[in-house]
Chains A and B, each alone.
Chain A
Amino acid sequence: MSKKETYVADIALLLEGTYPYVRGGVSSWVHQIISGLPELKFAVIFIGGEPEMYDKAQYQFPPNVTHFETHFLLDSKRYPTKSRRGNKKAFDEIGELHEQMRDQNAMPVETMMRAFKQLGAKNGVSHEDFLYSEASWDYITEQYRSRCTEPSFVDYFWAIRTMHAPLFVLTEIAKTLPKVKALHAISTGYAGLLGAMLRLQRGTPFILTEHGIYTKERKIDLAQATWIRDYNDDVSNTLHDEMGYIRGLWIKFFEQIGRMAYAQAAPIVSLYEGNRLRQIADGAPAEKTKVITNGINLPRYEKVLQVRKEGIPPVLGLVGRVVPIKDIKTFIRAMRALLDKLPEAEGWIVGPEDEDEDYVEECKELVRSLGLEGKVKFLGFQNVADILPQLGLMVLTSISEALPLVLLEAFASGLPCVATDVGSCRELIEGSGEDDRALGAAGRVVAIADPEATADAAYALLSDGAEWRAAQQAGLQRVKRYYDDQMMFAAYRQLYVDTLQTDSAPEAASGGR
C-alpha cells in the first residue's frame, strides 16, 4: 500500500500506569527496550488512573519515540447530567455479553467485536447513556437484584460505574490512535484490553508481554483495598464467602478482560517459565506463549564491580519502591533480628517514596518503634550504580515479583542476594536448568513475610566470607551467561521483525480455546 508513510510508529507500546511517569522495574525495562532497538520507531501510549496520581515524566524519551499520548481512565468527561432513555436494545446485548462472560472461558470473537462496536457508539451504549440513562439504570438494578448478595446497593452501583467507565475512555483512545504497524501491551488489564480492541477493529498485530501477572497483582490490591466495604456479620458468614461479592466482581472483571487480551494477542511473552504456566492457567493458549527473559547492560555493571572495595560491608540494601507489595516491613523486622547478632549491620531502603505515602509513614513509624533509627535508612531514589558497591547484600522481601532487575544488577556488580520465593527469584538465585544450577547459588531464597529467616540468611552470608564469595561468583557467571541485555534485544528484534512481516489480516484469532 502507498500509505506506508502515514504510520506514526512501528510499535505502539500500550503502557498502564508505568512508563514514562512512574519509575520501577517495568518502566526501566521499557526504556531499555526502546533504547536497545534504535532502528524501530515507537509510539508510547500511557494509560493512567487519575491525572492527580502522576507528576511529570520520569524518563527522557530516546529519539526513536515518535509519538506519545497520555490518557486517564478516571478522568471522566463532564457531561451535563440530563435524564435520557438510553438504547434498551443495546443494553440487552450487553446483557448477553455479560452472560457469556460468566459462562465461558473464552468469548466468541463475534460477541467481542459486537460489544466493542456498541461501546461509545451513538446507536449503541454511549458514555452518557451508561452514566445517565434509564436503560442503564434498569439494567444495573436488574443485575443487582438477581446476583448481588451484599446489602449495600450504593456500593454495588459505584463498583459497576467505576469498573466500566474506563471502557469508554479506551474506546475513545482506540478511535483516535494514529496508525501503527504493531501493538505491544506490557500488561493485560486495561492496556491489554485496548490492544485486543485495536486488534479486532483494525487488524493490527498485537503482542503482549507480561512482567508480573496483572490479574494476580489486582487480586492482591483488591484483597487489601479498604475502599470496598466488608459486610462480615457473624450470622451469615460462612467459610467460603470470605471475599465479598463486590471484591469478587472486581476480580472476575480483571480475569475476564485478561482473557480477552490473551485471546487476541500473539505472541504472549512472559519473563520466565513460572509465569508462562500461570498465563496458560489463566486462559492464554499455550502455543502462543513464549519466554523472553530480562537482561541487563553488563559492561555498565562491570565498572560498578571494579569500584567495589575489598571486604564485605555489613550493609543490606533493599532497592525498590516503598509500597506494600515490596513488604518493606518484613525487611525492617529482619533488620531488628539481624542486629542482635550483627550489631554493626545497617539496612538501606533505596527507592522512591511518593507512591503510597501512608505506607511510607507506617514503615518509618515501624523503624522508630523498633528503635532502629540510624540503622535503617530511607535513602529515597538513588542511582543504583552508586549504591551497589557500598552494599554487602541485596535483599528483596517482596510478596510478588516477576523477574526483578535489581537482582540481575546486584549479580553483575558482584553482590549476593537474599530474596523471597516469589516470581523468578528462585531461578535467578539457584538457577533453572541443569547447567544453570551447576553454577551454584548466588545467595539464598527465603519464604515471604519471614523476618527471622531473612535475618538468618543475611547473617549466614555476611558472616561467612567463603559462602559470600562463592555466591558472588555464581551470580556473576549466571548473569553473564543468561541475562545479557544483548540477548534480550535480539529476541525482541526478532519478534518484532516476525510480527511486522506477517501481514496480519484480521482473521480475528479464533477465540483460542
Chain B
Amino acid sequence: MAGIGFEIRKILERDSYWDVLKAYGYAGLVSGGPWVLSILGVMAIGVLAVVLGVAQTHVNAFQICVTYLMALSLIWTGGMQLMFTRFVADQAYAKAQADVLPNLMGVLLLTMAGGFLWSVPVVALMFSGSLLLRLLLIANFVVLSGLWLALIFLSGMKAYRRIVRTLATGYLLAILIALAFSRWQLEGLLTGVLIGHSYLLFAFLRHIIREYPGQTFLRFDFLERRKSFYSLFAVGTLYYLGVWVDKFIFWFVPYTSEPVIGPLRASIIYDLPIFLAYLFILPGMAVFLVRMEADFAEQYERFYRAVREGDTLMHIEYRRDQMVYTARQGIYEIFKVQGLTVVLCLLWGRDLLAAVGISPLYIYLFYIDVVAVSVQVLLMAILNVLFYLDARREVLVITLSFFLSNLVLTSATLFLGAETFGYGFAVSVTFSAFLGLFMLSQKFNRLEYETFMLQQ
C-alpha cells in the first residue's frame, strides 16, 4: 500500500495519542479537504466582500451562483468521473499507461465542450444580467466540470498531499482576486473564483501530464467499453442527484425559497444549516481514508492475491474473513467517530450557531443535518467497499434508492411542515446506508462463489 495509507501508518506506529491525532488530522485534511476548502473559500469571499463594502445582495447572489455551479457541474460530471476512474484502473491493470493521458484529454474535451454547448443556450435564455455575468457563469461551469475530473484522477493517483496544497493555493488565489475585484460587485467575485478554479485545473493538469507518459494527444477509448460500464455512469450521476435533490426541492418550492438572481432561488431556512453541517464530516472522512485506503485496500489485495496465486481454499476464506473484518472495523469506526461528532454538535450546536451569527431557529434542522451528513460518510464508505468488490449492480441499486427516497421523502416533509425539514434527507441517507450494509453483507457471504463461479 503506497501513498497516503503508508504515511499514515508510519505516524500511527509511533504509538502516542498525539501522533494518532496527528495522523487522523492529516487524513481528514487530505480526504475532506476539497469539500471543506471550497465551502470555506466561498464563505470567506462572502464575509470579506461584505467587509469591503460589496452589497449583501450581491454577496448572496455570488454564493448562490457558486452553489448552483458546483451542484450542476458535479451532477454533469458524476457519471463520467466513475466511468473514467474505472477505465484508468483497467488501463493500469493492463499496463497500458500510455493510453491514459490521451483519454484524459478526450474525457475533458467531451465534458467541457459538452458542458459549454448546453450551458450557453440555458444561460442565454434564463439570465437577463450583463453579458459579462453570463459569460462568467458559463466559464465557471465549464472550468468546474474539468476540475472535478482532474481532481478524481489525481485522487486515483493517490496524490493527496499535492491536492490539498494546490487547493489551498487555489482558494487563496480565488479569495485575493475576488477581493481585489470586489468593486465590480458580483462579476468581480465570480472572476475571482473563476481564476482560482482555473489555476487549480491547470495546476492539476500540469502535474498529471508530467507524471503520465503519452504518445498521442486525444483518444476516446473510454467510451468503447462494454455496456456494463455505463452502469457506472448511472451510479455517478445518481449519487450526485441524490446528494442534491433535496436542496433543489427546497430551492424551487415557493414557500421555502425566494428568488435570488435570474432563475436561481435559495432557501434561507434549509441551506445554511446543511452547508454548515458538511463541515462536520471531517472526522469521519479521516477515518474513512485511513481504514479504506490503508487497511481495507491491503486486505482486499491480499484476498485476490490468495485467489490468483493458488492458495488453499481455507486460506482464501481466511483472507475473506480478514477483509470482512477490516471493512466492519472501518464502518464501525466511522460510526463511532461521527457519532461522537453528532453528540458534540448536540452539546455545543446552539453556541456554535450563535458564534457564527445564525439564528437559533435553525438549531433542530442543524442537528438532523449533522446526523444525516454523518450517515452519508458511512454510505460513502459502504459504496467504496462495494466498488472495490466490483459490485456494480448493488451500487446501482443503492444510489438509485438514495436518489428516489430523497426525492420522495423530502417532498413529503414539505407537506408535513417545517418541524420535519431535514428528515427527508436524513431518513433517505440512513435507509440507503442500511440497504448498503445489507447488500455488502450478502456480497461478502457469496464472495468466493462469485469470484470463482461467476467470472467472465
Distance (whole angstroms) from the CB of A97 to the closest CB of chain B: 21
A27 to B449, CA, bound (A): 43
- What residue of chain B has the Cβ atom nearest to residue A82's Cβ? B454
Complex interface: chain B residues within 8 A of A151 (CB): 310-312
Q: Does B450 contact A (CB under 8 A)?
A: yes
Give the CA-CA distance A134 to B454 in the complex, in Å: 10
Q: Which residues 128-150 in A have Cβ within 8 Å of B in the complex?
A: 131-134, 136-137, 141, 144-145
- Residue A153 interfacial (CB < 8 Å): yes
Does B311 contact A83, Cβ atoms closer than 8 Å?
no
Known: A137-B449, A154-B307. A83 touches B313 (CB 8 A): no
Rounded to whole Å, the gap between the CB of A140 and the closest CB of chain B is 8
Is the CB of B308 closer than 8 A to any CB of chain A? yes
Residues of the B chain whose Cβ atoms lie less than 8 Å from the Cβ of A131? 453
Task: Give the complex CA separation of A144 and B313 in angstroms.
Answer: 8
Q: In the complex, what residues of B have CB within 8 A of residue A496's CB?
A: none
Select one of A133, A137, A144, A155 contacting B310, CB under 8 A: A155
With A81-B455, A81-B456: A154-B450 Cβ-Cβ less than 8 Å: no
- Smallest CB gap from A78: residue in B: B456
In the complex, which residues of chain A have a beta carbon less than 8 angstroms from the beta carbon of B313?
A: 141, 144-145, 153
Is A134 a contact of B310 with CB atoms below 8 Å?
no
- Give the docked Cα–Cα distance between A81 and B311 (Å): 24
- Chain A residues contacting B453 (CB-CB under 8 Å) are 83, 131-134, 136-137
User: Residue-by-residue, is A221-238 near B (CB-CB < 8 Å gives 1, otherwise 0)?
Assistant: 000000001000000000
Q: Binary interface profile of B, 226-254, with partner A (CB < 8 Å = 1, else 0)?
A: 00000000000000000000000000000
Chain A at the B interface: mostly helix, strand, loop or mixed? helix
Tell me if B452 counts as interface (CB < 8 A to partner A): yes
Partner of A152, one of B312, B314, B448, B452: B312
Given A137-B449, A145-B313, check contact A154 B308 (CB 8 Å).
Answer: yes
Counting CB contacts under 8 A, is B316 at the interface? Answer: yes
Assuming the contacts A134-B449, A137-B449, A153-B316, asked whether A81 and B310 have C-beta atoms less than 8 A apart, the reply is: no
Using a CB-CB cutoff of 8 Å, which residues 474-498 of chain A contact chain B?
none
Which residue of A82, A137, A145, A229 is within 8 Å of B452 (Cβ)?
A137
- Is A157 interfacial (CB-CB < 8 Å)? yes
Listed residue (B446, B454, B456) with the most chain A CB atoms within 10 angstroms of its CB: B454
Separation of A155 and B308 alpha carbons in the complex (Å): 10
A145–B449 Cα distance when bound, in Å, is 15
Q: How far is the CA of A465 from the CA of B83 in the complex (A)?
A: 81
Q: How many residues of B contact A (CB 8 A)?
A: 17
Q: Of B307, B308, B310, B450, which contacts A83 at CB under 8 A?
A: B450
List the A residue with the shortest CB-CB distance to B456: A81
Number of A-B contacts (CB under 8 A): 45
- Give 1 or 0 for each of A287-306: 1 = CB within 8 Å of chain B CB: 00000000000000000000
Alpha-carbon distance A136/B449, docked complex (angstroms): 10
Pairwise interchain contact B312-A157, C-beta atoms closer than 8 A:
no
Expressed in whole angstroms, the minimum distance between the Cβ of A149 and any Cβ of chain B is 10
A-side contacts of B312, CB under 8 Å: 151-153
Per-residue CB contact flags for chain B residues 405-449 toward chain A (1 = under 8 Å, else 0) read 000000000000000000000000000000000000000001011
In the assembled complex, the Cα of A367 lies from the Cα of B316 at a distance in Å of 48
Q: Would you give the shortest CB distance from B186 to chain A, in whole angstroms? A: 56
Cβ–Cβ < 8 Å partners of B449 in chain A: 83, 134, 137
Q: Given the complex of chains A and B, what is the CA–CA distance between A81 and B448 in angstroms?
A: 15
Contact of A157 among B308, B314, B450, B452 (CB under 8 A): B452
Q: For B448, what are the chain A residues with a Cβ–Cβ distance below 8 Å?
A: 137, 141
A153–B308 Cα distance when bound, in Å, is 9
- Per the bound structure, the CA–CA distance linking A151 and B312 in Å amounts to 5
* A152 close to B455 (CB less than 8 A): no
Provide the bound-state CA to CA distance between A152 and B452, in Å.
Answer: 13
Complexed CA–CA distance, A136 and B454 (Å) = 12
Which residue of chain A lies nearest to B449 when distances are taken between CB atoms in the complex?
A: A137
Q: Do residues A229 and B310 form an inter-chain contact, with CB atoms below 8 A?
A: yes
B454 touches A153 (CB 8 A): no
A86: min CB distance to chain B, Å: 10
> For the complex, what is the distance from the CA of A443 to the CA of B315, rounded to whole Å?
60
Among B286-328, those with CB < 8 Å from A are 307-308, 310-314, 316
Q: A157 to B446, alpha carbons, bound, how many Å?
A: 16
Cross-chain contact B310 with A132 (CB below 8 angstroms): no
Which B residues lie within 8 Å of A144 (CB)? 313
A141→B452 CA distance, assembly (Å):
11
A133 to B453 Cα, complex, angstroms: 7
Chain B residues lying within 8 Å of A145, measured Cβ to Cβ, are 313-314
What are 26 A-B contacts defined by CB distance under 8 Å?
Answer: A81-B454, A81-B456, A82-B454, A83-B446, A83-B449, A83-B453, A83-B454, A131-B453, A132-B453, A133-B453, A134-B449, A136-B453, A137-B448, A137-B449, A137-B452, A141-B448, A151-B310, A151-B311, A151-B312, A153-B311, A153-B316, A154-B308, A154-B311, A154-B452, A157-B452, A229-B310
Question: Sorted from nearest, which 8 A-B pairs have the closest CB atoms?
Answer: A152-B310, A153-B313, A137-B449, A151-B312, A81-B454, A154-B310, A137-B453, A132-B453
Residues of chain B touching chain A, judged by Cβ–Cβ distance below 8 Å, are 307-308, 310-314, 316, 446, 448-450, 452-456
